[in-house]
C-alpha cells in the first residue's frame, strides 16, 4: 500500500526557486577576480542561473553530462552550480590548488564537456587545454571587457552567454536520485576519487545542516563561507543559505586575513566557516591590529581539528562561539557538529571548552560507530578508540566510475579512515587519521591531540606531530613547530607546557623548529610530505 502524500522530488533547483520567491532581495555580495565587489541578490542569481542552464542547453549539454568549475567563491560560481544541476547536468567542482597532473586526471576522468573558469586560471588552462580530452567549451567567468585578446584557447564569455539567454527555461524535472554534483577527494595516496552527489542527497544534507543544533543558519544571518565551493561544497552553504534566505558574502580569490576582515566588518557578517589555518591567520591579524570581529556570532571550524586555544580565544577575546564540525567529501560533507546538548549546557565554561575540542554529535541523518580491527563495535565511553564508521542518505555508496570497488561493508557502513572515540553523550572525537596515528609499544598516540595542546604553548604558530621510527617503541612522536613571527620558543618550554596536559608516555621525544609546515590543497597538514622531509631524522638520545 502506498501512502497518501504528494510526490515532491527533492531537487536542488527547488532551493533557489524558494530563495528567489521568498527572499529575493536578500543580497549576495562578492569580491570579484576583476577587482572590486559585485552586489546581487537571490532573485538575480536565480534569473542568471536559468541563463546558465539555457546557455548550456544551447551548447548541447545533455542530462547526466558533466560541466566543471575551476573557480573561487563568487556569485557567478553559485549561478553555475544551480544552472548546471538545474538543467539536469552534473556540477563538478575542481580544486585549483591540486597539482596540474591531478587537475588533468580529474577533468578527464569525469569526462567534463564544459569547463567554467575564473580569470585567475587563464594561464593554467592555456597550458593544460591540449590534455583535457573531453572538454568542448571553455567558459571564462567574466565580462566582454576583461576577455583576453590573444589567448591560445577559444574562450567563451560568461556574461555574453548569460545575456543571450532570455531566461525562458524550465528546470529539468528529473528523478531525485539523478546526480547533481561531483567532487573528488584530494587523494593523498593514489588517484583522487569522485563522489557523485544526487539531488536527493544534497537536499537532505541541506535540511540536516540548517537545523539549530547543526549549522543553525537562518534568514537573519549574513554568511561568509571562507571554505571554498570546491572544497567539499563549501560545507553546503550555497544550498543552506538559499534554503533559509540568508545573505551571502563571498570572498572571491581572497583568503588573506586583512581582506576577509574588512569584508566581514563592512557586510555585518554574523556567521562564517573555514579551516583552522584561516582562523590562525585571522586571530593573529586581530591581535596585531587591535580590532574585533564586529557582528560575528558564530564560526564553524572543520576540515582539521580546531585547537582548544582557538576556541577559547574566539570566545574570551571576541565573544564569538566556535562550532566545531567534522565531515568529509564523502559525506557531502557534514557528519557531526559540536553544538551543546542540554546536559553540556550545564557544564562550567572550562568543561564546555574541553567538550568543544571534540568534533561534536551526529546530526539526524548520520549514523556513527567506532569499531576495532575485527569490526566489533566499541563502547561509547569516550575512551575506546577505533575505526570511525558512518552510514546515511548523504554518505557515499560508491565512488564515481566504481573506482575502488565495493566500499561499504555488508551492513552498509563506510570506513571514514579516521580513528575516533564516542562518549556517552554522543560526542565524537577524532584522535587521528588511521594512517597518521603513532604506534608506540603497541599503544596508539593521537597526533591531533598533541598538536592541539602544543599550539597553546607560548610563541607557537603551528604544530604538527609525526611518528618517527624508534628501536624500542616502534614509533615515537616528533613535534614540529612553526614559531610565531618574532618569537623563539624553546624546546624545554614547549615540553613543560605539555606536561600535565597529556599522558606522560605521549610526551614527544623531540621538538624541532621549521619556517613552514606543508599543507594539502584543502589546508590540512600534509603528513606524507612532512615525513619525507624528516626521512633522515633520528631522535637525539634513545633511552634504550
Minimum separation from the CB atom of position 449 to ligand ADP (A): 11
The pattern of x and - marking residues 349 through 378 that bind ligand ADP according to CB under 6 A reads ----------x-------------------
Q: Kindly state whether residue 517 participates in binding ligand ADP, applying the rule CB under 6 A.
A: no
**How many CB atoms sit inside 10 A of residue 59's CB?**
15
Q: Of the ranges 209-217, 246-254, 323-331, 395-403, which one interacts with ligand ADP (CB under 6 A)?
A: 323-331
Q: Of the ranges 59-67, 262-270, 308-316, 324-332, which one interacts with ligand ADP (CB under 6 A)?
A: 324-332
Q: Of the ranges 165-173, 321-329, 369-377, 449-457, which one interacts with ligand ADP (CB under 6 A)?
A: 321-329
Residue linked to cell 611518528: 467
Minimum separation from the CB atom of position 417 to ligand ADP (A): 6
Minimum separation from the CB atom of position 275 to ligand ADP (A): 8
Q: Of the ranges 130-138, 247-255, 300-308, 370-378, which one interacts with ligand ADP (CB under 6 A)?
A: 300-308
Minimum separation from the CB atom of position 318 to ligand ADP (A): 20
Return the number of the residue (245 or 281) whose C-beta is nearest ligand ADP. 281
Measured distance CA(46)–CA(60) in Å, rounded = 21
Measured distance CA(124)–CA(100) in Å, rounded = 8
Q: Which three cell numbers stand for residue 390?
A: 558512518
Count, residues near ligand ADP per rule CB under 6 A: 22
User: Across the strands, what pairs with 499?
Assistant: 502
Q: Kindly state whether residue 464 participates in binding ligand ADP, applying the rule CB under 6 A.
A: no
Measured distance CA(454)–CA(450) in Å, rounded = 6
Q: Which three cell numbers stand for residue 65?
A: 553530462
Catalytic, 444? Answer yes
Return the number of the residue (9 or 417) whose C-beta is nearest ligand ADP. 417
Q: Kindly state whether residue 428 participates in binding ligand ADP, applying the rule CB under 6 A.
A: no
Q: Kindly state whether residue 522 participates in binding ligand ADP, applying the rule CB under 6 A.
A: yes
Return the number of the residue (304 or 440) whose C-beta is nearest ligand ADP. 304
User: Across the strands, what pairs with 194?
Assistant: 184
**How many CB atoms sit inside 10 A of residue 261's CB?**
21
Give 439-444 contacts, CB < 8 A, sequence gap 24+. Answer: 439/467, 439/474, 439/475, 440/467, 440/470, 440/473, 440/474, 440/475, 440/476, 440/477, 440/505, 441/472, 441/473, 441/474, 442/474, 443/505, 444/385, 444/419
The pattern of x and - marking residues 140 through 179 that bind ligand ADP according to CB under 6 A reads ----------------------------------------
Q: Is the Cβ–Cβ distance between 45 and 83 less than 8 Å?
A: no
Q: Which three cell numbers stand for residue 188?
A: 593523498
Q: Kindly state whether residue 106 participates in binding ligand ADP, applying the rule CB under 6 A.
A: no
**DSSP assignment of 203-267, as one string?**
HHHHHHHTSTTTT---TT-EEEE-S-TTTGGGGGHHHHHHHHT-EEEE-BT---HHHHHHHHHHH
At residue 26, the 3 state secondary structure works out as: coil
Q: Which of 69, 201, 233, 329 binds ligand ADP (CB under 6 A)?
A: 329
Closest C-alpha to 469, from 514, 530, 535: 535
Marked catalytic residue, from 81, 394, 413, 444: 444
Return the number of the residue (142 or 416) whose C-beta is nearest ligand ADP. 416
Q: Which residues bind ligand ADP (CB under 6 A)?
A: 185-186, 232, 302-305, 324-326, 328-329, 333, 359, 416-418, 430, 433, 520, 522, 524
Amino acid at each position: 500500500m502506498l501512502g497518501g502524500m504528494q510526490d515532491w522530488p527533492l531537487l536542488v533547483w527547488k532551493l533557489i526557486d524558494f530563495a528567489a520567491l521568498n527572499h529575493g532581495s536578500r543580497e549576495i555580495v562578492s569580491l570579484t577576480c576583476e577587482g572590486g565587489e559585485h552586489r546581487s541578490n537571490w532573485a538575480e542569481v536565480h534569473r542568471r542561473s536559468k541563463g546558465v542552464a539555457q546557455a548550456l542547453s544551447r551548447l548541447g549539454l545533455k542530462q547526466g553530462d558533466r560541466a566543471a568549475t575551476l573557480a573561487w567563491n563568487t556569485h557567478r560560481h553559485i549561478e553555475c552550480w544551480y544552472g548546471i544541476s538545474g538543467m539536469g547536468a552534473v556540477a563538478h567542482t575542481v580544486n585549483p590548488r591540486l597539482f596540474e597532473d591531478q587537475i588533468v586526471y580529474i577533468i578527464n576522468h569525469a569526462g567534463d564537456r564544459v569547463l567554467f573558469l575564473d580569470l585567475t586560471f587563464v594561464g593554467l588552462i592555456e597550458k593544460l587545454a591540449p590534455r583535457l580530452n573531453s572538454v568542448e567549451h571553455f567558459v571564462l567567468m567574466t565580462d566582454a571587457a576583461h576577455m583576453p585578446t590573444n589567448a591560445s584557447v577559444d574562450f567563451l564569455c560568461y556574461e555574453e552567454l548569460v545575456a543571450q539567454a532570455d531566461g525562458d527555461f524550465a528546470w529539468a524535472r528529473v528523478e531525485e536520485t539523478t546526480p547533481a554534483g561531483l567532487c573528488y577527494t584530494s587523494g593523498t595516496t593514489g588517484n583522487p576519487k569522485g563522489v557523485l552527489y544526487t539531488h536527493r542527497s544534497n537536499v537532505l544534507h541541506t535540511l540536516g545542516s540548517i537545523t539549530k543544533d547543526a549549522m543553525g543558519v537562518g534568514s537573519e544571518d549574513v554568511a561568509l563561507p571562507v571554505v571554498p565551493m570546491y572544497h567539499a561544497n563549501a560545507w553546503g552553504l550555497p544550498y543552506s543559505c538559499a534554503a533559509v534566505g540568508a545573505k551571502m558574502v563571498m570572498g572571491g580569490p581572497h583568503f588573506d586575513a586583512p581582506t576577509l576582515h574588512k569584508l566581514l566588518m563592512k557586510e555585518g557578517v554574523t556567521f562564517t566557516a573555514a579551516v583552522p589555518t584561516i582562523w590562525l591567520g585571522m586571530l593573529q591579524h586581530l591581535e596585531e591590529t587591535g580590532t574585533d570581529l564586529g557582528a560575528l556570532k558564530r564560526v564553524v571550524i572543520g576540515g582539521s581539528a580546531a585547537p582548544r586555544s582557538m576556541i577559547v580565544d574566539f570566545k574570551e577575546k571576541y565573544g564569538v562561539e566556535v562550532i566545531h564540525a567534522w565531515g568529509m567529501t564523502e559525506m557531502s560533507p557534514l557528519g557531526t557538529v559540536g553544538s551543546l546538548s542540554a546536559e553540556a549546557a550545564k557544564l562550567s565554561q572550562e568543561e564546555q571548552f574541553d567538550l568543544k575540542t571534540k568534533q561534536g554529535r551526529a546530526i539526524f541523518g548520520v549514523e556513527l560507530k567506532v569499531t576495532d580491527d575485527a569490526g566489533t563495535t566499541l563502547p561509547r565511553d569516550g575512551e575506546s578508540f577505533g575505526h570511525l564508521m558512518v552510514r546515511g542518505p548523504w554518505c557515499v555508496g560508491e565512488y564515481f566510475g566504481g573506482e575502488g570497488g565495493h566500499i561499504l561493508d555488508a551492513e552498509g557502513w563506510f570506513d571514514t579512515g579516521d580513528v575516533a572515540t564516542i562518549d556517552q553523550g554522543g560526542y565524537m572525537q577524532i584522535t587521528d587519521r588511521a594512517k597518521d596515528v603513532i604506534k608506540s609499544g603497541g599503544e596508539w598516540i593521537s597526533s591531533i591531540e598533541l598538536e592541539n595542546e602544543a599550539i597553546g604553548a607560548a610563541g607557537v604558530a603551528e604544530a604538527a606531530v609525526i611518528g618517527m621510527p624508534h628501536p624500542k617503541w616502534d614509533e615515537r612522536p616528533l613535534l614540529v613547530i612553526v614559531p610565531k613571527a618574532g618569537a623563539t620558543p624553546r624546546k624545554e618550554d614547549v615540553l613543560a607546557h605539555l606536561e600535565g596536559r597529556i599522558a606522560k608516555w605521549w610526551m614527544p621525544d623531540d621538538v624541532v623548529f621549521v619556517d613552514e609546515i606543508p599543507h594539502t590543497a584543502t589546508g590540512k597538514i600534509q603528513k606524507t610530505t612532512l615525513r619525507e622531509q624528516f626521512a633522515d631524522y633520528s631522535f637525539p638520545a634513545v633511552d634504550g
